[in-house]
Amino acid sequence: MLRTPTDETRLRILVWLKEPRTAADGVTADAVAERFSLPRPVAVTHLRLLEATGMVRTSRSAGRVRYHRDDMRIAEVARMFEKGW
């Protein structure tokens, strides 16, 4: 996660997940792939990395995995970096 790709895709996904509609409903891997013009497997890889670091959490709706920001975890990580971790 800390190795940031040059296009900053994971950061852009986190920013998008903060928007009111996506924050309320979460997004699917298909929606991420479409929004950022990525192949679905690439979108899934980004989302799994974000989930593995705790930046996003998942829920299931109609049999589909939906991804949501975990703002508490993001704030915790930000504090660690501010303290020079």
Q: pLDDT tens-digit profile of 37-73?
A: 999 999 999 999 999 989 999 999 889 999 999 999 9
Cβ-based neighbour number of residue 41 at 10 Å: 9
SS3 of 64, please? strand
pLDDT at 79 (0 to 100): 87
Q: Record the pTM.
A: 0.84
pLDDT at 84 (0 to 100): 75
Q: Is 37 left (phi over 0), alpha (psi -120 to 50) or beta?
A: left
